[in-house]
Structure 1
Amino acid sequence: MSWSQSVRIPADVEQPDKIIGSLTARQVAILAGTGTVLYAACTFAADHVPPAVCAAAALPIAIGAVLLAIGHRDGISLDRYLLAAIRYQRSPKHLISSSEDIPMPPAWITANARRPPAPLKLPARGVARDGLIDLGPDGVAAVAEISTVSFALRTPDEQDALVAVFGRWLNSLSGPAQILVRAERVDLSNTIATLQDNARRLPHPALASAALEHAAFLDDVSARHDLLRRQVLLIIREPAVATNGRDAAAARALRRLDEASRVLGSCGLTARLLDARAAGELLASCFDPSAPPLPESDLALPGEVITTGGI
């Protein structure tokens, strides 16, 4: 005889477990710790301070502990929010790209006591020639650009099949993965220049006129609107184990990306691994998303010597 039991799974899979009622372990620790400290303090001062004074002094502390335990702001608990605020106030505000410690400035220029700049520590250490992003002690990350399919234009059966394939891929995940949907600016200057150049070589004047009109239309659209295109990226991250190192993590990341490409390919999606130049261009655009994309000639591959023309 077989039987099944329904289990309610929360939408937020990272939601902490409740151990006492609706309280998590963190909330219980805050409330229990505060209560223990207040009880010990009131017991110690009971012979010297009236109970009413102890209650009046303990009440604001108890209220603050309750707010820290159950309060939230922007989806973050108040205790973590307070710790983040303290960490922000104590952290240096001026960061520079340097891999070494910044020396203290001379005493004769420190008229007002200001915190010296600190090195900017980014999670990405660099891009390897195979296109994988080196995360240092955190391992490597493989980035692939994923095509899209029209879900609304599919029949209900086809929609169910797409959801089933996507769910099968999610259930097969064996490590961290991220789906990033970003919008980036589109530069039509090269397309317009190509249309205008090819229009002169068309065999018929009507074709040349149509090409020039289309180029003028694109020029007008790009001048009056901020053109954007949507890009879907799949990021696979693998930690670097001390015994295997970066090569083993890179092999695992590429294998997981290949498995994702095969599974998602059954619903019409294609995955293209970004090479070193494309991954470097992606990281550069993330620092300034509103800026136009850099030309490929301005991007250097890892290990290339950057030179500049003389005057």
Structure 2
Amino acid sequence: MDVLSDAIAVMRTGRPHSSRTVRFAPWGIRFPASEGAGFHVVLQGTAWLLPSDDSTPLRLGPGDVLLLPHGTGHGLADRPDTPLTDAVPAPDGSWATLPDRGPVGADETLLLCGSYQLSRGRAHPLLTGLPPYVRIPARVGAHPRLRAAVELLGAELAEPQPGADTIVPALLDTLLLYLLRTWWLAERADLSTGWSAALSDPAVAGALRALHEDPARPWTVEELGALGGLSRAAFARRFTALVGRPPLAYLTWWRMTSAGRLLRAEDLPLRTVARRSGYASEFAFAKAFKREYGIAPGRYRAAG
């Protein structure tokens, strides 16, 4: 198990959606805020991001990728002054496609766009720490895996083949992970503080991997520190500074977050969920769960 994959897994609530569309100038779309996350890739031409807070518009050129990790409302247009038309999603979260032909001589923009359905109820701090807009500019030779995922997704959407219903969602999940990995580990991540630093710090990253791989184990701070060759005190200080909470407090939070997902995603007996969450008895688990969520596990499952 790894932290980045887990952070996405506990928030995912449904199938992602995507589209490959041509826009003919003049065009402008206003996307409402959503619970999920979204992205835009400019495959050809240019587009302008128009932030919902009326801050400075951002020009996107060929190959630029824009990730909106918090589902922030925004506009996208051929020019900053083009009027916007509200985009209305279908009930399944997908967006309507436009005709592939426009006025003769009109400037064309080819876009690859997508959305992910995520729950914000137990959002992992790995995601909540991201800015509203994450732009990954096109650079020759940079981020080859991310570019390969974009090309594969674009090809599947342009010419659907047998198996596309399975391939496209898998590619979308892959693309999201590559986008996040690129941002944290290679693009603008500040390696002095926060989760980018936590993922890059051998001792803290090793402890996080261990906690995620075996959350039911009765970990001690000494054991976690020893994984990275640090004393208990030194490890506790470093982990708390980078992650934002002490090691065992994070472990409890992660156990409860994972338990909430298990209760609603899988039809497991309560005793099994308790055991996977590191509790020897259903009673102890139920007490800890209610303290964290304000509701008993059974009622939480029924409400989902």
Is the shorter-chain TM-score for this pair beyond 0.5, marking a shared fold? no
- Give the TM-score taking structure 2 as reference length: 0.19
| Structure (1 or 2) with the larger CA radius of gyration | 1
